[in-house]
Amino acid sequence: MSDHILFAHSLNGATPGAELTGQAIADSLESPELAWVHMNAGDPGAAAWIEAHMAYLPVAVRHALVADATRPRVSFHGDGAMIFLRGVNTNPGAEPEDMVSLRIWIDPARIVTLSLRQLASVRELRETVAAGDGPQDAGTFLADIVARLNARIIDRVDVLDDDGERIEQAVLSDAADPGTLRPQITDIRQELVDLRRYLRPQRDALGLLAAERLGFIEGEARLEIAESQDALTRTVEDLEGLAERLIVARDEIASAHSDRLNRNLYILSVISAVFLPLSFLTGLLGVNLGGIPGSEDGGAFWEFSAALCVVLVLQLLVLWRMRWVNVPGRWRRKDP
């Protein structure tokens, strides 16, 4: 099999699930029996193969299927549709929010899908098809792949929601260092931005698929796509709610940090207010000039120290009367 064609299977007919190779892949696109071909969108051979065997498609569609960058959307052409969807990246070492694009051309007689990287949903569906238990019509196939993509998206959003709840509890209980929470909030918010970038248009695309009267999307398949669209709508709402909750958590962390800073500045201000007069007196009497009072008196040091203690007590009384300091348990009134 060519490098640009990853696999191909017959979906119905005499041998559902049979693997197609060689010329049989191209022939399957011309036969009335439904076949599925999956290709590597990054391989230049994929574009050449599409030009050679799918020339009946509009030029814009053929180019879009192998484009470098895509966003979720759907467009209808005759009895078929070009559909771009995104799936969570579950490849080893990859970031889940780095969503993988799945490009689909689907009509009653053929399904062609392309992706730049592997998608677990496509791999699982292929295993089901190869076992002979896969969908046997285009509408059921589309509903199946959409449901599989959705399931992983929802699982990832649930993980983010759990992380957000853990952060909220830590913020409210003041059980964690804000210095460790802030980077976590930033990482989750960045992932939410990436997910919403693709999931909002994907929700709209599924809504169009559920509403458009394509001949091959009927009955239960249409209901399943509508349910997937509804589930994705709720997921997008959950993402937006989580983003708002993280903003509140970030504000709470900033507010707590500001309160601690103000409290520390307040303590420093009180200390400065207490020791500034004492520093003035000691500095005044410590100058190396003649005529300093008590310089000839052997007990002047102790008298001066006692005077400083009196000044200190008077200052504390003044600060207490001004409500700058609090003395717990002193003159506390009991409620009648």
- Check if the beta carbon of residue 198 is closer than 8 Å to that of residue 86: yes
Q: Cα–Cα distance between 8 and 5 in angstroms, integer?
A: 8
For 157, phi then psi, to 5°, come to: -65, -35
* 316, 320, 326, 327 alpha-carbon torsion, rounded to 10°: 70
Lowest mean per-residue pLDDT among 39-48, 119-128, 267-276, 291-300 = 291-300
In which residue are the tokens 């990832």 written? Answer: 156
How many other CB atoms sit within 10 Å of the CB of residue 81? Answer: 23
Burial of residue 264 (number of CB atoms within 10 Å: 0-12, 13-18, 19+): exposed
Percent of the chain with pLDDT over 70: 92
- Beta-bridge partners for 73: 84
pLDDT of residue 295: 65
Lowest mean per-residue pLDDT among 15-29, 84-98, 175-189 = 175-189
pLDDT of residue 151: 94
In which residue are the tokens 């051309």 written? Answer: 105
308 within domain boundaries: no
Helices (H), 69-177: 120-130, 138-173
Q: How many alpha carbons fall within 13 Å on the CB side of residue 336? A: 0
Average pLDDT estimate for 321-328: 67
105 within domain boundaries: yes
333 within domain boundaries: no
Confidence of residue 328 (pLDDT cuts 50, 70, 90): low
Residue span of the structural domain in which 199 resides = 5-254
- Check if the beta carbon of residue 235 is closer than 8 Å to that of residue 154: yes
Lowest mean per-residue pLDDT among 54-63, 143-152, 230-239, 254-263 = 254-263
- Give Cα 204 distance to the centre of its chain: 19
What CATH number does residue 184 fall under?
Answer: 3.30.460.20
Confidence of residue 122 (pLDDT cuts 50, 70, 90): very high
- Check if the beta carbon of residue 115 is closer than 8 Å to that of residue 102: yes
320 within domain boundaries: no
Confidence of residue 334 (pLDDT cuts 50, 70, 90): very low
295 within domain boundaries: no
14 within domain boundaries: yes
pTM above 0.85, yes or no: no
Amino acid at 284: L
144 within domain boundaries: yes
Q: Into how many domains does the chain fold? A: 1
189 within domain boundaries: yes
DSSP 287-327: SS-TT-TTTT-TTHHHHHHHHHHHHHHHHHHHHHHTTSS--
Tell me the pLDDT tens digit for each residue of 31-59: 888 999 999 998 889 999 999 888 888 89
Longest dimension (CA), the chain: 122
Tell me the pLDDT tens digit for each residue of 101-115: 999 999 998 999 999
